[in-house]
Amino acid sequence: MAIEDKEKVLKFGEMSVTGRLIDASNATLFASVSAEGHEIECIYKPVAGERPLWDFPDGTLAQREFAAYAISSFGGFNVVPYTLLREGPFGLGMVQEWIDIDESIDLMNFFSLDHPQLRKMALFDAVINNTDRKIGHLLPTHSGEVLGCDHGVTFHTEDKLRTVLWQWAGNPLTETEIAQLENLLLLIDGELKPILEELITAAEIDATITRINRLIDSKVFPLPSQEWPPVPWPAF
């Protein structure tokens, strides 16, 4: 289905909640959205079901998920499934297209590989300051893509990168990656700016710009922090 059709169905279709992912710390509901003879399975995370966190403002995780999608899409990373904000049965929330993963892939072996799709996600996580890239958040598809989910704890003003994808730590960025980051800076100052301003704070946008400039100037992937645990726990 074309992205325009996905947007139309997910944004305006009738949503029916059919289950809940019980392992998630916040309310994470399995749903389907139907419109004009099309049906799309999705994940629905209502703001009302978000658990308060000590280091993130209450009721902002859905917006951060959508901001992560915007960076992924506009910035050419393309590692986040189609995502939007809309009203659902339990109020405003994040809605994300459900991804059927390739279950033949053993994530416990896969996550540590020197894989180009994982490398792209590692760079994306450094940009959005992802504090929770777990193994179970990786979604390898049957077509060979590797997507990621659960981007609610992102864009903090303090450096809080926690991830299982450290296999490129300190490695040089390619010229293509640097050009991608430079283009992303232009987008954040241009067409992405009004989108992000509706989702995260001005300080968080400035911190994102600072992180991107740091990557461009250093020309290497970030190193694990010595001040806090660099790997989320549990790692899966």
Does residue 3 carry a pLDDT above 70? Answer: no
Does residue 170 carry a pLDDT above 80? Answer: yes
Quote the tokens at residue 76: 């050419």
Report, as an integer, the average pLDDT of 18-46. 90
Q: How far is Cα 81 from Cα 106, in angstroms, rounded to an integer?
A: 21
CB 112, CB 37: distance < 8 Å:
no
83-88 and 29-35: which strand pairing?
Answer: unpaired
pLDDT at 72: 98
Query: What are the pLDDT digits (tens) for 181-228?
Result: 999 999 999 999 999 999 999 999 999 999 999 999 999 999 999 888
Does residue 101 carry a pLDDT above 70? Answer: yes
Minimal CA–CA distance to 68: which of 52, 89, 92, 84? 84
pTM comes to 0.96
Q: How far is Cα 27 from Cα 50, in angstroms, rounded to an integer?
A: 6
Does residue 166 carry a pLDDT above 80? Answer: yes
Query: What are the pLDDT digits (tens) for 59-75?
Result: 999 999 999 999 999 99
User: SS3 for 35?
Assistant: strand
Quote the tokens at residue 13: 């279709």
Does residue 82 carry a pLDDT above 90? Answer: yes
